A and B are shown apart, each in its own frame.
Chain A
Amino acid sequence: MFVELNNLLNTTPDRAEQGKLTLLCDAKTDGSFLVHHFLSFYLKANCKVCFVALIQSFSHYSIVGQKLGVSLTMARERGQLVFLEGLKSAVDVVFQAQKEPHPLQFLREANAGNLKPLFEFVREALKPVDSGEARWTYPVLLVDDLSVLLSLGMGAVAVLDFIHYCRATVCWELKASILYLMQGNMVVLVHDSGDAEDEENDILLNGLSHQSHLILRAEGLATGFCRDVHGQLRILWRRPSQPAVHRDQSFTYQYKIQDKSVSFFAKGMSPAVL
């Protein structure tokens, strides 16, 4: 996790807000550093994390996680992390007939209607275990990234339904025997296609923007590539329950990604320019 980003978001692993949906968005640049940040953040906060990684392999996240101070293999061994590796699972689904429904079952069907198997997988992964003691603080669902589901044939509405179901399960769930409110968090990444006229992606992005509590938007600089400033990060808090004055706060910072951390600075205050 990036300490500077924690300061900007005013959170630490110990006292993070619960029951929130965070939307990560990138336009004209690669926003995957935010995914790495949240993954290591929630693992350090001792949460149970379900990571649906559709775009890269496990070893990629594992190696970057080691740089950020978490070990994904250890987390997976002790049950803290449930990892769905999309690329490997896709190969299994397409080349072999599966007996039970597979989370990526829609790859075999020409007109798959919904993402129900994937939702079942998430629910199963984040179900609280009846072990008596609470090992993990709260559940977290992390998806990287949702735009890939659109490329794989799902409609924007199906993906929005999936997020809605996940939110209902992860962010608020009542256990049958004990009234136990388990407020979890969700973090999803969506690409902003910009001027590529991807209507489905725009529907998905707008729909999620309205639902989320925190939006982190990584944009490339409008003037192009720069060696010392990799892009601009816009942070937008949406608090619908607050009075209008405090409702939507927005900050903009520029950032530079280094080998093990990301440094943030106010616009125009890059160390290279000063």
Chain B
Amino acid sequence: MAAVATCGSVAASTGSAVATASKSNVTSFQRRGPRASVTNDSGPRLVSIAGTRPSVRNGQLLVSTGLPALDQLLGGGLAVGTVLLIEEDKYNIYSPLLFKYFLAEGIVNGHTLLVASAKEDPANILQELPAPLLDDKCKKEFDEDVYNHKTPESNIKMKIAWRYQLLPKMEIGPVSSSRFGHYYDASKRMPQELIEASNWHGFFLPEKISSTLKVEPCSLTPGYTKLLQFIQNIIYEEGFDGSNPQKKQRNILRIGIQNLGSPLWGDDICCAENGGNSHSLTKFLYVLRGLLRTSLSACIITMPTHLIQNKAIIARVTTLSDVVVGLESFIGSERETNPLYKDYHGLIHIRQIPRLNNLICDESDVKDLAFKLKRKLFTIEAEVQKGVSTATFLLDGPRKKLFPCLFQLLEVACIPWLMASSSVFKASNIGFESLCYQLSGFFSASLLHF
């Protein structure tokens, strides 16, 4: 399989170039267009696969996460070959929604699905997928849910008024697979015929743990080992990595793993601080990423990181994943009654975005994002209204967050706050107590710098 290419890199580096060029033909980590160094291939021109589009920044092949707002925040979508890690919210209410949106997007686009769970039968998970919003009659219901700045005469022409609410062109009739990113109705179920027409594989741990699937000895927990073997079998047999001569596959495999790291998978990192299997999860993630990088697949993993006792493992897991999104719901916390957050159900933190094939990545400028689950839709918005912009670029942020922006200006401009002129501190309606609190915090930080 890939042994030829790696032996090439170990022993002699000549002659391995052609092998690797043909081997890496199926990955998406390539420039579009003809390349002079490729000799006997038909060229790594990416055949257009349903539900994918190339990134504008680096030509990377992207798939939609099922939430157009999240796609926008991630720089266009999730790159094929990468892992999206969702840090679950405390009571696991909203993370299954993101999980299901990802799978539903796969069904609508005709991708192959692989659903793995230790808690629920994958068949049941697929029954609960949200229905896609397809045709024009849903548009009116959609409009009354979504608040936008549409002027009356633009009823026909959709305007992108608010940055994170991409309104797609609504088409009459069945959804066309050339569209990237669909909207889903969380209150309705996916039609049965769409689910049955799709190609999906399920991995339910209680069933598979006792099976006699041949497994190479490995140092991971048995659940993880079996899951890795299962994923690798599917990738090989259905030809997602191009190594199977009988199968020529030009489709994406969407892998969804639910509640990874929870005790149901046989892992004890959520129970004990220094368990015996503390490296099992990180090894699993590493090998999984290796599998993804060499095949046409994308993976979503939800993980109860708030339960992991050892903080170092969370940091390692973050480094080993590509995209990390954290959900923090307001249920049960004091923020539920905070008037600032009354419209929202929780905060969404984009903790990490990968830099693939590039020195920089598309980070969004707004870091305070909140989500709300309306009657039918899951929307993501910037937390507070943008305030009046002042002269300097850094203070262009929301008005209520004036002081952190101010202190950042002082740090970047290297001005000790004591020497800043009073005009820098001109602020109209910030309370005096918050001013003192912020100043004391910054003063102690600035003592370390100067």
Taking Cβ atoms with an 8 Å cutoff, the residues of A that contact B are 30, 32-33, 36, 55-60, 63-64, 67, 73, 76-79, 81-92, 94-97, 103, 107-111, 121, 124-125, 147-148, 150-153, 191, 193, 196-201, 221-229, 254, 257-260, 262, 267-270, 272-273
Contact = CB atoms under 8 A, between A and B. Distances in A.
A196 B283 CA distance: 19
**Looking at chain B, what size class is its interface with the partner chain?**
35 or more
A226 B413 CA distance: 12
A107 B320 CA distance: 15
B359 A258 contact: yes
A91 B2 contact: yes
Contact of B413 (A86, A151, A273): A273
Pairs A-B, 6 closest by C-beta atoms = A268-B414, A198-B312, A87-B290, A223-B408, A196-B315, A110-B219
Contacts of B356: 56, 60
A63 B412 contact: no
A224 B408 contact: yes
Contact of A76 (B13, B282, B291, B355): B13
B216 A97 contact: yes
Contact of A90 (B14, B286, B393, B412): B286
Contacts of A270: 412-413
Given A110-B219, A151-B286, A30 B14 contact: no
28 contacts: A57-B27, A73-B21, A73-B37, A77-B13, A82-B13, A87-B286, A87-B290, A88-B5, A88-B293, A91-B2, A91-B290, A91-B291, A95-B228, A95-B232, A108-B217, A148-B319, A151-B283, A151-B316, A152-B286, A196-B311, A201-B312, A221-B408, A221-B412, A223-B411, A227-B365, A257-B359, A259-B358, A267-B414
A254 B14 CA distance: 41
Contact of B359 (A67, A83, A268): A67
> Interface on chain B toward A: helix, strand, loop, or mixed SS?
helix
B2 to A, nearest CB: 6
Contacts of A56: 356
Contacts of A269: 414
Contacts, number: 192
A48 B282 CA distance: 32
A82 B363 CA distance: 33
Interface in B1-42: 1-3, 5-6, 9-10, 12-14, 16-17, 20-21, 24, 27, 29-31, 37
A190 B12 CA distance: 29
Nearest to A225: B367
Contacts of B384: none
A96 B3 contact: yes
B418 interface: no
Contact of B30 (A59, A82, A152): A59
Interface in B65-82: none
Contacts of B27: 57, 59
Given A87-B290, A225-B367, A259-B360, A59 B219 contact: no
A205 to B, nearest CB: 13
Given A82-B9, A85-B6, A95-B232, A90 B287 contact: yes
A92 B3 contact: yes
A87 to B, nearest CB: 4
B278 to A, nearest CB: 9
Given A57-B29, A67-B359, A221-B411, A94 B316 contact: no
Interface string B283-314: 10011011101100000000000000001101
Given A63-B357, A257-B359, A268-B414, A96 B1 contact: yes
A67 to B, nearest CB: 7
A94 B280 CA distance: 13
A258 B311 contact: no
Contacts of B58: 63
Contacts of B408: 221, 223-224, 226
Nearest to B291: A91
Contacts of A151: 279, 282-283, 286, 316, 319-320
Given A88-B2, A91-B2, A121 B10 contact: yes
Chain A CB within 10 A, most for which of B12, B21, B282: B282
Given A77-B14, A77-B17, A91-B294, 6 more contacts: A58-B24, A83-B13, A88-B290, A223-B408, A254-B412, A270-B412
B354 to A, nearest CB: 9
B410 to A, nearest CB: 8
B229 interface: yes
Nearest to A147: B319
B218 interface: yes
Nearest to A198: B312
B369 to A, nearest CB: 13
A198 to B, nearest CB: 4
B436 interface: no
Given A121-B10, A198-B316, A58 B20 contact: yes
Contacts of A90: 286-287, 290
A91 B3 CA distance: 10
A256 to B, nearest CB: 9
Contacts of A257: 359-360
